[in-house]
Amino acid sequence: MKPTRLMAMLTAFGLLICGISDAVGQQTGAATGQVVQSGTSANQEFKITRVSPGYWRVTIDHPPFNIFGPESIPMLNSVVTQIESDAQLKVVVFDSAVPGFFLTHYDFAPPLEATTSLPPGPTGLPPLPDMLVRLSRSPVVTIAMIRGRATGVGSELSLACDMRFASREKAVLSQFEIGAGFTPGGGPMSRLPRLMGRGRALEILLSGNDINGDIAERYGYVNRALPDSLLDKFVDTLARRIASFDKQSLADIKHLVNASTLPSDQELGEEWTAFIASVQRPAAQRDIKKLMELGLQRNPDVETNLARYTGMVNQPDKK
């Protein structure tokens, strides 16, 4: 994708976000268990815990809803870069410190320059798809441990990981974007059909409905849904087992599986292009504005029951 085209798309996206915001108002250490900050901001959203040289935990901690925005991108990029470059690392588990939320949707409030000032990543893709591609292709095994809501970017980060394990009682996954009038941009159209087939992928993408742990397991959205009380132990045991194996053999296996399962950069770039085009349309501007007015990003009930509220904003106006 040409840089001029990229900047034009990012500018358009930033203008949309800025317009919505104006309309509704601003509503490394090796010791066991050592926490290492992932970026430079005082408010770290992604915190690395080095459980051992071969096993890290990356904890998402951006209360109250773990919303992902432009300020999150440098922090996640720092995490991905460290994952790519550490010679001893074998497995990383992504989890959350915020009850009820794994990682949610993009932040619709920041001003124009917060988005347009971010350059493409090393792959040449825009920052978010770039980081997700690099995470999938890194030689390190990645696991999403989903407890709470994984919506939009949260779903897309989970899909970019090699494995996903969910709390049977507390996990909720979704690609909500259709309910807000726009197209997802972080790769779910390319990744979901490879996991669960065309029909089920379209059900998730075209309904915007919430998918609980049981259905997510049945559809192949996640590897397994476990009772919440067993989730931590299961994932930790699996991660420690993987970390005990030979790093080069792990990397070889992942590389060969990637060759037949991962979408191309072109596919993912086209999704981002579709996303940028869609958020400029009147339907998206109208629906996001309505959601913000209802309390998106402020009201816990809206964030927790997003599928219900996107259904509300798409009801015909009563005369």
Catalytic residues: 156, 177
Residues 6+ apart with CB under 8 A from 282: none
The answer to whether the beta carbons of residues 101 and 66 sit under 8 Å apart is yes
Q: Phi and psi dihedrals of 225, rounded to 5?
A: -110, 125
Structure tokens at 19: 């317009």
